[in-house]
Amino acid sequence: MSGICSGRVVVVTGAGRGLGRAHALAFAAEGARVVVNDFGVGLDGAPDAENPAARVAEEIRAAGGEAIAHTGDIATGEGAASLVRAAVETYGGLDTVVNNAGFLRDRMLVNLGEDDWDAVVRVHLKGHFLPLRHAAAHWRAEAGAGRRPTARIVNTGSGAGLLGSVGQGNYSAAKAGIVALTLVAAAELGRYGVQVNAVAPAARTRMTERTFAAAMAAPAAGFDAMAPENVSPLVVWLGSAACSGVTGRVFEAEGGRITVMEGWRPGPTADKGRRWSPGEAGEAARELLARAEPPRGVYGA
């Protein structure tokens, strides 16, 4: 390993399984001291008797790394604050936050209950905002004291948030919100030495077993394209000092492929210089659509 994160203190939420576990192990292998956060719930957010955070922290220590477990609910103010405190009090600082925690409650929109909407938006969107907010407050204080950090936040988006996904209105909306939050945080926190980016991963986890079922056959030629470990190298780089100057960007990562997502950009435009009538606006819109790039399909459509 290169030691690209040697000495850095890294927090990873939702790190008990899947992508989060892969990220935590990868950061530790590159020399980071890791706070492994996992609330220990099932795929739908219901309580789970296991303590996956402790298991991953022990796995890191057994390999010669440094790690502690944190089992707080980071979608609460106290849980997120205690996560930052755990890093600072144990290791003397905080350098990187990887927001990864989440679960699913999939329903078609006409069957999607308010509780299922609130639960998914809470853990994904609020569960990104609160650790980000508390970490940013710590880094702002450090910068104000003359100790400008080289801080990094890596958020976890999804293709569902970029394109939409049938049966996942709550999840898609939350992930789209995470992308917007990433852009705002990058713009606001740069003055304190903080860079903020997002990754939209495609990998085999508890959350994607059904979504990517067809792609989860036996790996060809010895390369498991859906292994979560394939996503972690990009996340580790974005969480390191080596990515200086990269902020406010969204990447897709799957197998051996990395893509920079370019987001919403102005396309064909018409300007009448005064108010349109409804009929004129419709005619202009159709002419513009004829010259525009067609949208990519929604997942599952």
- Model pLDDT, residue 40: 83
Where, residue-wise, is CATH 3.40.50.720 in the chain?
9-261
pTM of the model: 0.91
pLDDT of residue 107: 95
- For residue 219, give the amino acid letter: P
How much is the pLDDT for 34?
A: 98
- In this prediction, residue 96 carries a pLDDT of 98
pLDDT at 46: 56
Q: What is the pLDDT of residue 243?
A: 97
The pLDDT profile of the chain, 301 residues, written as one tens digit per residue, is: 789 999 999 999 999 999 999 999 999 999 999 999 999 865 544 556 679 999 999 999 999 999 999 999 999 999 999 999 999 999 999 999 999 999 999 999 999 999 999 999 999 999 999 999 999 999 999 999 999 999 999 999 999 999 999 999 999 999 999 999 999 999 999 999 999 999 999 988 655 555 444 444 455 567 889 899 999 999 999 999 999 999 999 999 999 999 999 989 999 999 999 999 999 999 999 999 999 999 889 988 8
- Name the residues annotated as catalytic: 158, 171, 175
Check residue 214 and give its pLDDT. 47
| CATH code, residues 9-261 | 3.40.50.720
- Measured CA to CA, the distance from residue 211 to residue 52 in angstroms comes to 24
Q: What is the pLDDT of residue 222?
A: 77
Q: Nearest-5° angle of CA 73, CA 52, CA 235?
A: 80
